[in-house]
Amino acid sequence: MYAQMIKSEATKEDPVKLAAFQARIDAGEKIEPKDWMPEGYRKTLIRQIGQHAHSEIVGQLPEGNWITRAPSLERKAILLAKVQDEAGHGLYLYCAAETLGVSRDELTEMLLDGQMKYSSIFSYPTLTWADMGAVGWLVDGAAILNQVPLQRTSYGPYARAMVRICKEESFHQRQGFDIMMKMVNGTAAQKHMAQDALNRLWYPSLMMFGPSDAESVHSEQSMRWKIKINSNDELRQKFVDQTVPQAEYLGLTIPDENLAWNDDKGGYDFSQPDWSEFFDVLKGNGPASVERIEARQTAWDDGAWVREARMAHAAKKQATTLAAE
């Protein structure tokens, strides 16, 4: 979900090797960095883990937007800790991607030049304090649904990174819900902010799961490889079903006139998001897309002298140590 529209690579290796590989996956074995793997599997995973890592890093920005304006010392500390966790998630994921033979710097450059994407949700602006609640409640809520099954993904380092990440994400979601509780029980202005945040973030949250599986050409191979565990529609349905009662509990209205319980399927019927907007966002036309990449580019460019200096200093230290031996 932090990984959307991941193109699955075709693979042309020796059919015997491929069959043995598939058998390992079917038997529930974990694939480890030194094991043989099809080139397509490796490339697809790099794309997926990389996009997930980038999403964590770009995802710091919309929340970082409110750290300096958090309305109490406690809220400031919680938000700082949360954004720090996200940077940590980025770090685990880049490390997992590195085991597949791509460096963090290479991945960063691919994000900056547009070859790699980040989740569409982070191209939306955070406009009021209630967005800090709604991001935790909806965005982290949606992320958890996707990431819990990924703890069982076939690639060992990815699965292990997801175990650590999931623990922290559920804490984030609870914090988000707690902010929403305070807002809906607060002043008229706070209630207004809460409803407005839900109105703006509801459909972008539904988009996080990616387009319908009927249109997703890459899902099948990824599911066979256990890189993707559930279908996009399945997870979206689960998200709606779990979120509607939460919104009711908060006394907020989900901005969808077609939302209705369907007894036959045992879930809610709901409206699809505007998928043309989703594709616009993926192309870099999200409301805050330009600012997000600009911020990452500036951090990268302005930080170059620091990274170079640290390397130079490390080299000097190493030379001194060697000379002393």
Q: Which chain residues interact with other proteins by CB under 8 A?
A: 57, 60-61, 64, 67-77, 80-81, 83-84, 87-88, 90-91, 94, 104, 129, 179, 182, 186-187, 189-190, 295, 298-299, 302-310, 312-314, 316
Q: Which of 86, 89, 33 is nearest to 61 (CA)?
A: 86
- Which region holds residue 25: left if phi is over 0, alpha if psi is between -120 and 50, else beta? alpha
CB of 312: closest distance to other proteins in angstroms? Answer: 5
CB 39 within 8 A of CB 88: no
Indicate the residue among 20 and 312 with the shorter CB distance to other proteins: 312
Indicate the residue among 189 and 217 with the shorter CB distance to other proteins: 189
Q: What type of residue is 204? A: P
Long-range residue pairs from 179-184, CB within 8 A, at least 24 positions apart, any chain = 179/75, 179/129, 179/130, 179/132, 179/133, 179/136, 179/137, 180/130, 180/133, 180/134, 180/137, 180/250, 180/252, 181/250, 182/133, 183/129, 183/130, 183/133, 184/250, 184/251, 184/252
CB of 176: closest distance to other proteins in angstroms? Answer: 13
Indicate the residue among 24 and 192 with the shorter CB distance to other proteins: 192
| DSSP-H helix ranges across 9-155 | 15-26, 39-58, 60-64, 73-98, 104-112, 130-134, 141-150
CB of 68: closest distance to other proteins in angstroms? Answer: 5
Indicate the residue among 66 and 278 with the shorter CB distance to other proteins: 66
Q: Which of 211, 213, 230 is nearest to 274 (CA)?
A: 211
CB of 205: closest distance to other proteins in angstroms? Answer: 21
DSSP state of 226: T
Tokens of 92: 């685990």
CB of 8: closest distance to other proteins in angstroms? Answer: 28
Indicate the residue among 306 and 324 with the shorter CB distance to other proteins: 306
CB of 284: closest distance to other proteins in angstroms? Answer: 19
DSSP state of 100: T
Indicate the residue among 42 and 54 with the shorter CB distance to other proteins: 54
Helix (H, G, I), strand (E, B) or coil at 272: coil
Indicate the residue among 93 and 254 with the shorter CB distance to other proteins: 93
CB of 283: closest distance to other proteins in angstroms? Answer: 23
Q: What are phi and psi of 33, to 5 degrees?
A: -50, -35
